[in-house]
């Protein structure tokens, strides 16, 4: 991670007034051996990446896939690093810079605890309430719904999701789904500095596997679901599932809320090592009977283009009816999960129910999550971040239920990512739509024609007679898609969601599906509303 952080990425967020520590204290707590003079050296931060390094930082040099971070220690010294923390393999290269060196057994494994110590964000420190959500789909939605409902209660909030970071109202584009450990702890320290009372964090399987949430203990952790995804990172679905389970141990979280809507949830329940409650949505659950027997049940009451009405009820007789401002039964399930997480964190039922009743439902903005970018007339156009077969199936079904006319599905697939799901993406896309348009997404270093061909092959196998179109690039695809539909029809553009770039051969090219869709509608003569987001796509 040494110097490979692109300058186009948003900066690491840090506290303005970090604690000041001595290097001798760091060495006494974490070091196995030291080299050089540690006396009178103070530090105010740490980093793995020279691109993020600030004067006063300790540079943590770890073994990467191809190179050791200690190779970049000289660059770190030039940027103002005051010391290097590394392992025995990197010690000589680090010492050659003239900086003092603290040698630890495994710097990657200790990064979370190191970061917590440096920023004062360990389990014994005073922190905001921490909510952590894991699962294949729904993590971002649950996190944004949590933040929205907390704000309705008057709570000063923070958020870290795939889409954005929020700090007491300030919005910053995200770098990774879950930041590196040093970024996460620095972000929490900044949130605490700004008086944030509760933080919603999206916790990916990769974050747990790669130790990005080490040093944190969540007040409430939640499991949404598990379905086919990320087999580019994990050998199989079993390994992917196992990667999520550590979140439900006492060293990671105090309490849990487990959705029973997907088949793997039964094993999460069986292996959860902390107190938990369950929530189920029979209308979408793999096992409707198991979902109906959950501690909390989400019942779908109405679905319309402006939102989904549902009832949340408990075995002890509590019940509330409210609306989540996005389409989809799965979104009602996400909202129910978020509400139960808040109850488990100690927020009062009556206070929560009163706030939702006062405001006429949940007030939350979910960027790029079945987000409608079209106006009152013309085809409804939804931009969504979903990029797995399960997400396609649920979201297409939701769009179908609120669309009087035809449904057009527009999507592409990530290059250099889990290719094993592409046939199923094509299959689910064509089975849930009347018209399928296949285009490009993030090609990265993979051939875009090959990606599209695999998606179309999966679709053709499922429905040989289906209406399938292929357009490249996506700027053309959305224009042609709008030409294929009319009043009462709908377009679901899945994949790009909130993202403001495409990764083309390692370069983040400015790009906004939301703005491209609006332009295509406007050029076709349909009215479009003013956007709710900054427009990153160049004129």
Which CATH number belongs to the domain containing residue 85 in this structure?
3.40.1390.10
pLDDT for the residue numbered 221: 98
- Cis-peptide into 473, omega within 30 deg: yes
pLDDT of residue 10: 58
Which own/partner pairs from 30-33 qualify as long-range (CB within 8 Å, at least 24 positions apart)? 30/85, 30/102, 30/104, 30/110, 30/113, 30/114, 30/117, 31/102, 31/103, 31/104, 32/103, 32/104, 32/105, 33/88, 33/91, 33/102, 33/103
Domain boundary at 328, 359, 390, which? 359
How far is residue 360's CA from residue 144's CA, in Å, rounded to a whole number? 18
Give the structural domain span for 501: 371-523
Among residues 359, 389, 415, the one where a domain terminates is: 359
**Confidence (pLDDT) at 8:** 47
Q: Does 196 lie in the same domain as 114?
A: no
Residue environment code for 112-148, b if the CB has 16+ CB neighbours within 10 A, otherwise e: bbbbbbbbbbbeeeebbbbbbbbbbbbbbbbbbbbbb
For residue 173, the number of C-alpha atoms closer than 13 Å in the C-beta half-sphere is 14
**Burial of 319 (C-beta count, 10 Å sphere; 0-12/13-18/19+):** exposed
- Say whether both 183 and 297 belong to one domain: yes
pLDDT at 155: 98
213 and 113: one domain? no
Give the integer Cα–Cα distance in Å for 9 and 179: 12
Q: Are 314 and 296 in contact (CB under 8 A)?
A: yes
The reply to whether 235 and 152 lie within a common domain is: yes
Q: What is the pLDDT of residues 396-429, one digit of tens each?
A: 999 999 999 999 999 999 998 889 999 999 999 9
> Do strands 218-223 and 198-202 pair parallel, antiparallel, or not at all (unpaired)?
unpaired
- First vs last C-alpha separation in the chain: 34
Q: Which of 180, 243, 172 is nearest to 213 (CA)?
A: 180
Residue whose C-alpha is closest to residue 440's, from 513, 507, 369: 513
The sign one gets for the Cα dihedral 211, 213, 215, 217 is negative
- Give the per-residue pLDDT at 135: 93
**Has residue 366 been placed in a domain?**
no
Looking at the structure of the chain, the number of domains it has is: 3
- In angstroms, the CA 403 to CA 417 distance is 32
Q: Residue for token digits 């979910």? A: 366
Choose the final residue of a domain: 359, 381, 402: 359
385 and 348 co-located in one domain: no
Q: Are residues 101 and 205 in the same domain?
A: no
312 - beta bridge partners? 298, 320
Q: Are residues 210 and 278 in the same domain?
A: yes
Tell me the residue length of the chain. 539
Same domain for 288 and 380, yes or no, is no
Which position has the token pair 């006429």? 360
pLDDT value, residue 234: 77
Residue 321, number of CB atoms within 10 A of its CB: 16
Residue 76 lies in a domain: yes
Separation of alpha carbons 453 and 303, rounded Å: 35
Task: Please tell me the pTM assigned to this model.
Answer: 0.85
223 and 320 co-located in one domain: yes
DSSP E strands, 16-86: 21-22, 33-35, 42-43, 45-47, 57-60, 83-86
Same domain (yes/no): 65, 162: no
12 within some domain:
no
CATH of the domain at 334: 3.40.1190.10
> pLDDT at position 6, please?
40
- Report H helices in 367-470: 389-401, 422-431, 448-462
- Residues 224, 77: one domain? no
- What per-residue confidence (pLDDT) applies to 530? 83
Could you give the angle at which helices 23-30 and 107-119 cross, rounded to 10 degrees?
130
- Using CA atoms, how far apart are residues 46 and 506, in angstroms rounded to an integer? 26
Encoded tokens for 286: 């793999």
How many of the other CB atoms lie within 10 Å of CB of 267? Answer: 13
Give the residue ranges of the chain where pLDDT is below 70: 1-11, 174-178, 230-231, 532-539
Return the HEC string of 303-364.
Answer: EECCEEEEEEEECCCCEEEEEECCCCHHHHHHHHHHHHHHHHCCCCHHHHHHHHHHHCCCCC
Give domain status of residue 325, yes or no: yes
In a domain, 488, yes or no: yes
Does residue 283 sit within a domain?
Answer: yes
- β-partners of residue 470 are 438
114 with 188, same domain: the answer is no
Task: Report residue 356 as tokens.
Answer: 């939702």
Taking phi over 0 as left and psi of -120 to 50 as alpha, with beta for the rest, 307 belongs to: left
Q: Is residue 146 part of a domain?
A: yes
How high is the pLDDT of residue 3? 39
365 domain residue, yes or no: no
């Amino acid at each position: 991670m040494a110097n490979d952080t692109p300058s186009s990425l948003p900066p690491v967020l840090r506290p303005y007034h970090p604690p000041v520590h001595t290097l001798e204290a760091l060495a006494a707590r974490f070091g196995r051996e030291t080299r050089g003079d540690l006396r009178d050296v103070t530090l105010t931060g740490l980093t793995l990446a020279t691109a993020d390094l600030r004067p006063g930082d300790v540079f943590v040099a770890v073994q990467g896939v191809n190179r050791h971070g200690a190779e970049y220690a000289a660059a770190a010294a030039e940027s103002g690093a005051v010391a290097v923390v590394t392992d025995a393999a990197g010690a000589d290269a680090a010492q050659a810079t003239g900086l003092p060196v603290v040698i630890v057994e495994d710097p990657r494994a200790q990064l979370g605890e190191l970061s917590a110590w440096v920023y004062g964000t360990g389990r014994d420190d005073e922190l905001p309430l921490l909510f952590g959500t894991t699962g294949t789909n729904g993590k971002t939605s649950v996190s944004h719904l949590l933040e929205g409902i907390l704000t309705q209660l008057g709570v000063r909030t923070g958020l870290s999701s795939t889409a954005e970071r929020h700090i007491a109202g300030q919005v910053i584009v995200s770098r990774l789904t879950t930041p590196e450990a040093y970024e996460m702890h620095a972000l929490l320290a900044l949130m605490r500095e700004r008086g944030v009372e509760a933080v919603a964090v999206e916790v990916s399987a990769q974050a747990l596997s790669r130790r990005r949430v080490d040093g944190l203990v969540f007040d409430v952790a939640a499991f949404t679901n598990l379905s086919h995804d990320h087999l580019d990172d994990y050998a199989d679905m079993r390994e992917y599932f196992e990667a999520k389970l550590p979140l439900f141990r006492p060293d990671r979280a105090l309490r849990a809320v487990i959705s029973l809507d997907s088949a793997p949830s039964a094993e999460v329940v069986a292996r959860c090592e902390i107190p938990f409650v369950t929530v189920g949505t029979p209308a979408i659950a793999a096992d409707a009977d198991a979902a109906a027997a959950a501690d909390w049940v989400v019942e779908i009451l109405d679905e319309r283009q402006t939102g989904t009405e549902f009832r949340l009820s408990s075995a002890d007789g509590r019940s509330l009816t409210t609306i989540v401002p996005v389409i989809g039964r799965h979104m009602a399930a996400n909202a129910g999960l978020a509400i139960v997480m808040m109850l488990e964190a100690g927020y009062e039922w009556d206070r929560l129910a009163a706030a939702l009743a006062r405001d006429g439902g949940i007030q939350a903005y979910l960027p790029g999550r079945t987000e409608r970018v079209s106006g009152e007339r013309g085809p409804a156009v939804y931009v969504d971040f979903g990029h797995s077969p399960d997400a396609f199936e649920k979201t297409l079904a939701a769009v179908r239920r609120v669309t009087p006319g035809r449904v057009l599905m527009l999507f592409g697939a990530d290059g250099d990512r889990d290719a094993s799901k592409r046939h199923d993406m094509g299959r689910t896309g064509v089975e849930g739509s009347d018209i399928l348009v296949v285009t490009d997404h993030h090609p990265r270093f993979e051939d875009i024609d090959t990606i599209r061909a695999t998606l179309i092959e999966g679709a053709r196998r499922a429905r040989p007679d289906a209406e399938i179109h292929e357009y490249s690039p996506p700027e053309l695809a959305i224009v042609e898609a709008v030409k294929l539909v009319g009043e009462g029809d709908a377009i679901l553009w899945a994949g790009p969601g909130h993202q403001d770039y495409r990764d083309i051969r390692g370069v983040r090219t400015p790009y906004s599906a939301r703005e491209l869709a609006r332009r295509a509608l406007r050029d076709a003569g349909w009215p479009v509303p003013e956007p709710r987001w900054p427009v990153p796509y160049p004129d």
